[in-house]
Structure 1
Amino acid sequence: MSAKTVLHNFVAGEAVAPAEGRYEDLIDPSTGEVFASAPVSGPEDVDRAMQAAATAFEDWRATTPSDRQRALLKFADAIEARADELVSLESQNTGKPLGLTASEELPPAIDQIRFFAGAARLLEGRSAGQYMNGFESYVRREPIGVCAQVTPWNYPLLMAVWKIAPALAAGNAVVLKPSDTTPVTTVKLAEIAAEFFPAGVFNVVLGDRGTGRALVEHRTPQMVSITGSVRAGMEVAGSAAADLKRTHLELGGKAPVVVFDDADVAAAAASIAEAGYFNAGQDCTAATRVLVQAGVYDEFVAALAEQAKGIRTGAPDDEDVLYGPVNNAGQLARVAGFIDRLPDHAVLQAGGARVGERGYFWSPTVVSGLQQTDEIIQNEVFGPVITVQKFTGEDEALAYANGVEYALASSVWTKDHGTAMRMTQKLDFGCVWVNCHIPLVAEMPHGGFKHSGHGKDLSVYGLEDYTRIKHVMHNVGA
């Protein structure tokens, strides 16, 4: 992609320029330089996409599950065939390492599309029956309609797949707005999808927060799904409530990682470092809030700091780096602000500084000695910063772990089965891993509670979220 590349919206199966002709530069976060430009769409552009989706929905909803399955499988095959191109585009737009993007992001995206292709044929309802004499009842599970979707900048391609695959599998039509900083691979996905889906079934509108607001407030969509910040989720929920739209919100996280005295400290430190720094910590499930039992606290802090000092960040083509830059200059400033505002009792064990002057790189950082009320414990940093707190027993660990407004993901590290079972029951998070952190599979649901939102991505539960239930009753004597 050259510096002169200009992206367009993708509506009704074709590239479309914005009505007002407004564009903004796209920045490569690994260099800080402009590499393309993208539209800032307005209400007229959103309306055009919504009309296309509404028209396409009428036919798409009538397709059989096997028809939708075939389209999704062909879509997945095409993505797999063009994996190198998509990895290159994703890397330039996000600064992600090429090798890790190819091995850790493309395969799951393809697998998840294939999962939903199969799941489309397995949606079930209650069996028919006469619950009133002379009247036969059954349940229809139907697509909701047009779905407005908004995706974040941390995993642009993968999050687009999480949105569109279940929605299309269920028979809905989609208008999706990617983050204004990372739209490139979403547009490419729409171009590829146009080879297999009817025009208007999957539309992409590019733009900023104002574009997203126009998307949510439009009267056509019956559901709004967003993966993003708590602030963005609250705004979406408020706007959607005015028109009683369904919402599907996957928001922020502050995952507790609870390490007990009997854990394998070295192994835990290595795994937690990888799960905390992968993708520069820009992951709502990242292992960035570690709680360690007093007996191994000092040993663990030393082991984690050693891991951090051995991890490198750098350019996408550097095969020895674990992660690339944070997404943008504003995010770099946000990460730096948390470190600058650390309280006096905090101890910086590793990192804590920008790396280089070109691009938005931040060093692998470990901060210990923290208290539950500290800003960096309560708020999501969304960067390569891991905090460590000390606890004495299970009750204190649970109080610290659950004592934040987020409730997306968590993990427990122990050799004791009883400890693991008690903790998994009492941790107030949508996902609890035991002696691991961050593996995801298409078959299992992903989603949180509290300020981390509601609704599930992945799994049959995620597919059901994009359907509605209708009761049909027949008077069998008529």
Structure 2
Amino acid sequence: MDFTADYTMTIDGAPVAGAGTMAVINPASGEPFATAPAADAAQLDAAVNAARRAFPGWKATPWAERAAMLTAAAKLIFEHTDELARLFVREQGRPLHLAKGEIQGASFWLRQVAKQQIPVEVTEDTPERRIEVHHEPLGVVCAIVPWNFPVLLAAWKIAPALLAGNTMVLKPSPFTPLCSLKIGELLRQVLPPGVLNIVSGGDELGPMMTAHPGFAKISFTGSTATGKRVMEAASRDLKRITLELGGNDAAIILPDVDVDAVAEQIFFGAFYNSAQVCVATKRLYAHEAIYDRLRDRLHALARQAKVGDGLEQGSEFGPIQNAAQFARVTELLESARAEGLAVLDGGAVPDKGYFVPLTIVDNPPESARVVQEEAFGPILPMMRWSDLDEVIARANDSLYGLAGAVWSADVGQAVGIAHRLETGTVWINQNLQNTPFTPLAGHKQSGFGVENGMDGLKEFTQPKAIFIPKGG
């Protein structure tokens, strides 16, 4: 199997060339390096029909057998970590050692989700009757995956959907289709035809999928603006939906922290993957007593960090993934300078490609665009605070509620603050942590529904209550 060429879609267990093609750009150079297939409406219909044909047999396959196939899929992906990781760097941009972490993380996710099983719930058991609640698969799932974590977030959808007995048509981002296409090629060896179909295409393919009547559910990860359009499309025939959307996540740093001990963790919680992480720290509130020391330490880390091509040895941070996002991030940075904000630049970045320095904006007002908008790039606004109630109110003053963090030597106090934050996830003295067994649920406009954990697995099912009489 060649991971550097021959990219095909997977429809009904077979390789399929696209009706058209699209160029795939290496963000470290800004130049195309591969060509991917682009599906048309007829090919989408073929994928949906294949998934619909496969659904009855897959639903009837015992749970343990479905789990075993997911475990075999995990093994295959893990065995091809090196090939997939090199391809990942070229299309996504992240440094190679971190790319390997994502490939292995996806394998881990498949393996761990395969260990889960939804129990039968008994709501009544009396001499007269027994009431059981079972969970049944929905049918064909439409999965739409973003470009920032294209392999891991595909696994977040594939594993629970298929384990629960659904079939799937998955669309990777047009910016990062190649690893998904190659994983589809790999998994033809272990999954029955039609169970997992992978189609690629441009911006027109997503709306075609969300409007398609053959899907029972849409699982979408992306921006809040696009999520609203997905929700509108799903409403026309009442498709089930799970939306994991944007965030403007706040971290609150209390005055009792050891700045030297926590600065590096806070730094990577903000800038990992060049800050293209939905749950990254995007607003940093540091108490006035330690503000200057923490700011200076973070700025020093930003100046020391090596930003460059992910295939170059020593690179810690890669480029912005695509030209459109690069333009948005650079415009936001230019706006901050135009507003007269104190912009602390990181180290030098390559001239070629979509690179942006790791940047800290020093104590901007809450009304500044860099505070109000999700940059989804390496621009971190850092603000002073002195009153705890006020800073909690500032953190909560957002349309978003995806994740947040509290840093303190007093864990009990931090837990109390966590309960007051209006987010689906709060980390204490840590960040960027998720597990296959823990739900990720966006509050406010950060999402609809749940991914991961038992709650996330149930999102791909519908309950059925069975009333069973006893005796005569």
Query: Which amino acid letter does the alignment assign opposite residue 33 of structure 1?
Result: E
Cα deviation 1:234-286 (Å, max 9, x = unaligned):
11000001110111000111110111111111222211111211111100011
Please report how far the alpha carbon of residue 192 of structure 1 lies from its aligned counterpart in structure 2 after TM superposition.
1.5
In the alignment, which residue of structure 1 is the partner of 2:346? Answer: 351
In the alignment, which residue of structure 2 is the partner of 1:175? Answer: 169
Which one of the candidate residues 427, 438, 443 is aligned to 2:432?
438
Partner secondary structure for residue 474 of structure 1: strand
**1:11 to 2:11 alignment:** yes
Which one of the candidate residues 233, 244, 252 is aligned to 2:246?
252
Which one of the candidate residues 77, 91, 104 is aligned to 2:75?
77
Which one of the candidate residues 230, 233, 240 is aligned to 1:239?
233
**1:299 to 2:297 alignment:** no
Cα deviation 1:216-246 (Å, max 9, x = unaligned):
1111111100010111111100000111011
In the alignment, which residue of structure 1 is the partner of 2:38? Answer: 40
| Structure 1 stretches of at least 4 aligned residues deviating more than 3 Å after TM superposition | 1-6, 128-131, 133-136, 474-478
CA contact (8 A) 1:3 1:35 kept: no
Q: Give the whole-Å Cα distance in 2 for the aligned partners of 1:377 and 1:128.
A: 48
Which one of the candidate residues 449, 454, 470 is aligned to 2:448?
454
Q: Give the whole-Å Cα distance in 2 for the aligned partners of 1:319 and 1:444.
A: 35
Q: Give the whole-Å Cα distance in 1 for the aligned partners of 2:83 and 2:411.
A: 45
Aligned ranges 1:1-400 → 2 under 5 Å: 5=5, 7-18=7-18, 21-102=19-100, 104-119=101-116, 122-127=117-122, 129-130=124-125, 134-342=128-336, 344-351=339-346, 355-400=349-394
Please report how far the alpha carbon of residue 419 of structure 1 lies from its aligned counterpart in structure 2 after TM superposition.
2.1
Partner secondary structure for residue 341 of structure 1: helix
Distance verdict in 2 for CA 1:299–1:88, change over 3 Å: same
Distance verdict in 2 for CA 1:477–1:209, change over 3 Å: farther
Please report how far the alpha carbon of residue 439 of structure 1 lies from its aligned counterpart in structure 2 after TM superposition.
2.0
Distance verdict in 2 for CA 1:281–1:273, change over 3 Å: same
Identity of aligned residues (%): 34
Distance verdict in 2 for CA 1:3–1:463, change over 3 Å: closer
CA contact (8 A) 1:10 1:187 kept: yes
Query: Which amino acid letter does the alignment assign opposite residue 424 of structure 1?
Result: A
In the alignment, which residue of structure 1 is the partner of 2:404? Answer: 410
Cα deviation 1:88-124 (Å, max 9, x = unaligned):
111111121111211x3123211111111111xx211
Cα deviation 1:272-320 (Å, max 9, x = unaligned):
1112111111000112310111111122211111111111111122232
Partner secondary structure for residue 348 of structure 1: strand
Segment of structure 1 superposing worse, 340-349 or 389-398: 340-349
Query: Which amino acid letter does the alignment assign opposite residue 450 of structure 1?
Result: K
Query: Which amino acid letter does the alignment assign opposite residue 401 of structure 1?
Result: A
For normalisation by structure 1, the TM-score amounts to 0.94
In the alignment, which residue of structure 2 is the partner of 1:428? Answer: 422
Q: Give the whole-Å Cα distance in 1 for the aligned partners of 2:173 and 2:82.
A: 22
Partner secondary structure for residue 53 of structure 1: helix
Segment of structure 1 superposing worse, 71-80 or 4-13: 4-13
Query: Which amino acid letter does the alignment assign opposite residue 183 of structure 2?
Result: L
Distance verdict in 2 for CA 1:25–1:443, change over 3 Å: same
CA contact (8 A) 1:6 1:36 kept: no
Query: Which amino acid letter does the alignment assign opposite residue 106 of structure 2?
Result: A
Q: Give the whole-Å Cα distance in 2 for the aligned partners of 1:130 and 1:431.
A: 36
Cα deviation 1:321-364 (Å, max 9, x = unaligned):
221111111111111101111163521122398x3332111111
Query: Which amino acid letter does the alignment assign opposite residue 436 of structure 1?
Result: Q
Q: Give the whole-Å Cα distance in 1 for the aligned partners of 2:448 and 2:120.
A: 22
| Residues paired across the two proteins, number | 471
Partner secondary structure for residue 395 of structure 1: helix
Please report how far the alpha carbon of residue 2 of structure 1 lies from its aligned counterpart in structure 2 after TM superposition.
9.8
Cα deviation 1:49-97 (Å, max 9, x = unaligned):
1000000011000111110111011111111111111111111111211
Query: Which amino acid letter does the alignment assign opposite residue 159 of structure 2?
Result: A
Q: Give the whole-Å Cα distance in 2 for the aligned partners of 1:282 and 1:289.
A: 14
Query: Which amino acid letter does the alignment assign opposite residue 169 of structure 2?
Result: V
Q: Give the whole-Å Cα distance in 1 for the aligned partners of 2:15 and 2:241.
A: 28
Q: Give the whole-Å Cα distance in 1 for the aligned partners of 2:365 and 2:279.
A: 21
Please report how far the alpha carbon of residue 40 of structure 1 lies from its aligned counterpart in structure 2 after TM superposition.
2.7
CA contact (8 A) 1:252 1:284 kept: yes
Query: Which amino acid letter does the alignment assign opposite residue 98 of structure 1?
Result: L
CA contact (8 A) 2:3 2:83 kept: no
